[in-house]
Structure 1
């Protein structure tokens, strides 16, 4: 019974991580378009704002919450050896990913208010989830430390 529960919780965790990452990759790209087309094509802004809001509220927020719930559930099942370094590295990277998610939410509000960063800055920030994903996956799969 415990083996089946573990597999279902792990599957839920992987599915929610994939959904969360998809949003974290796409939302900053929408911000690039928003920042760069603001003056050129102002009629695009309402469409971009709806896309950004729906992506964040309907996909990313629930996926992040599910990722945390399933991840903490896995920890509660006792599948993590906290005497090793890799779970601590992963935990730090997940906290950083959560911070990035919150930063994205704040940037959505800034863009709606007519502020925000340049398209170039959003392109640079779009690399953050990729770097964190590399740290997380290598930590969990390879366990190099």
Structure 2
């Protein structure tokens, strides 16, 4: 199995990068939709329904599959014998950032349910601040993987 994983490793890594890019695009865009939803749209009417559709489709059709694909490809790389030196710091900082990114993804899903139920109480400013979380996590992940601090 280890030989097969090594043969597939470049393909898995490429699939992982593509999946992460799609996931990140959604993580950047969905909170921005929430900003406009909270500030300009309100909780009823035609535009509210349009935003609900956009938010649902972004989460369900793009973000969820991309997150799952990123996790599957990432775990395949983790299980490739010798691919990662767990004695270094970088795999742990990346893992923590990925777990936090996954939490943020689910936080976005919970906020969508608030908008759906008409119970959102957060102002646009709150979503603007939260919109910075994936950027900070992306910085940690990229520096962890590229620089590989010891």
Distance 1:131 1:28 in 2: 14
Distance 2:35 2:7 in 1: 43
Cα distance, 1:39 vs structure 2: 3.7
Which residue pairs with 1:57 in the alignment?
Answer: 60
Distance 1:54 1:114 in 2: 18
Q: Deviations over 1:112-145 (max 9, x none)?
A: 1122211000000000000000000000000123
Establish whether residue 76 from structure 1 lines up as the match of residue 79 from structure 2. Answer: yes
Which residue pairs with 1:88 in the alignment?
Answer: 92
Distance 1:6 1:43 in 2: 47
Which residue pairs with 1:130 in the alignment?
Answer: 135
Q: Deviations over 1:14-34 (max 9, x none)?
A: 000000000000000000111
- Superposition pairs of residues 82-121 of structure 1, within 5 angstroms: 82-116=86-120, 117-121=122-126
Aligned residue pairs total 145
Distance 1:6 1:133 in 2: 22
CA 36–27 in structure 1, closer or farther in 2 if over 3 Å, else same: same
Secondary structure at the aligned position of 2:60 is classed as helix
Structure 2 regions of 5+ residues with no counterpart?
A: none
Secondary structure at the aligned position of 1:77 is classed as coil
Secondary structure at the aligned position of 2:47 is classed as helix
Single out whichever of 8-17 and 42-51 deviates more from structure 2. 42-51
CA 31–94 in structure 1, closer or farther in 2 if over 3 Å, else same: same
4+ runs of 1 displaced by more than 6 Å?
A: none
Structure 1 regions of 5+ residues with no counterpart?
A: none
Distance 1:96 1:60 in 2: 15
Cα distance, 1:40 vs structure 2: 9.5
Single out whichever of 3-12 and 14-23 deviates more from structure 2. 3-12
